[in-house]
Amino acid sequence: MSYETALQRMGELRSLTGAGPLTLTSTGTTVASPGAFDAQLAQQQALLGARSDGAASAAAGGTAAPAAETMSQYGVPILTVADQYRMLGIDVPTAGGVGPAAGASGAGARMVALAQGELGVTETSGNNDGPRIREYRSATAGAQDSPGPWCAYFVSWLAKNAGAPVGAGGNGTGYVPTLEAWGKQQDRFVEFGSQQPKPGDIAIFDWGGDGTPDHTGIVESVGADGTINTIEGNSSDRVQRRSYAASTNDIRGFVRPG
């Protein structure tokens, strides 16, 4: 897609918002204000003008300034349509819906975004602890100074910071069976295979198949073939992505965020 086409797309979005906010999802996600569109469009149009001026200068024998790594050969930032949506705080449309958390609730989408920002966090002591992991524990009442397996602490931190705390009284939990029991009590638990998981859903794992949940993470996305892509805390001592086939026996079900 050409840069001009991308600008045209943004212009179309701007015109759609002229009468007020545009609702993009059934959960009420709204786009940025018209003023934000004006500012971004003006900036991009100025850059496009600079590109034209630069091309004219080069044609006249002038020397163009060196381009940055993020610039095109014309000196214009390389921005995909998806980049432009993100710049304006708008969910990115995808073939499967609105993304990156297509089908997620507002809280679920926020949890995914938060989790993506934590990728790579790792234990510093090798004993379920570290500065960032202590921050995760702070979302669970009484747990900040109590190191231990932290996958549920991580999920509790995501949920709290997304505005949809889990656990009794919204106090979080560090124990996966308690997280599952709370989900069932709140009528938010979905048995694996009964419904398509959504980004932001809290996955409950049972590695041994003994009926006792022992790990948790959140769904980042679901592939066209049903592959479930997750972000998990305390996965090999770090926050990292993992993927599971649609036929996996490792997942018991999902707790839907509020």
**Whole-number pLDDT of residue 144:** 86
| Preceding peptide of 165 cis, ω within 30° | no
**Whole-number pLDDT of residue 101:** 44
Q: How far apart, in whole angstroms, are the C-alpha atoms of residue 216 and residue 239?
A: 12
Q: How far apart, in whole angstroms, are the C-alpha atoms of residue 183 and residue 255?
A: 5
List the structure tokens of 56: 């004219």
Phi, psi of 57 (to 5 degrees): -65, -45
**Whole-number pLDDT of residue 84:** 57
Q: What is the radius of gyration, based on Cα positions, of the chain?
A: 22
State the DSSP string of 166-205: -SGGG---S-HHHHHHHHHHTT-EEEBTTB---TT-EEEE
203 backbone φψ class: left, alpha, beta (φ>0; ψ -120 to 50): beta
List the structure tokens of 257: 């965020």
Close Cβ partners of 83 (under 8 Å, ≥ 6 residues apart):
none
Q: Smallest Cα–Cα separation from 236: which of 158, 122, 117, 118?
A: 122
**Whole-number pLDDT of residue 15:** 55
**Whole-number pLDDT of residue 174:** 96
Residues 202 and 176 sit within 8 Å (Cβ to Cβ): no
b/e string for 220-247 if b means 16 or more Cβ within 10 A? bbbeeeeebebbbbbbebbbbebebeee
On the CB side of 120, CA atoms within 13 Å amount to 2
Domain ranges in the chain are 3-90, 106-255
Cut 0.75: pTM above it: no
**Whole-number pLDDT of residue 213:** 96
Q: What is the DSSP letter of 68?
A: P
Determine the length of the chain.
258
| Ranges of the chain with pLDDT below 70 | 1-105
**Whole-number pLDDT of residue 42:** 60
**Whole-number pLDDT of residue 194:** 94
- Which of 3.40.640.10, 3.40.109.10, 3.90.1720.10, 1.10.357.10 is the CATH number of 106-255? 3.90.1720.10
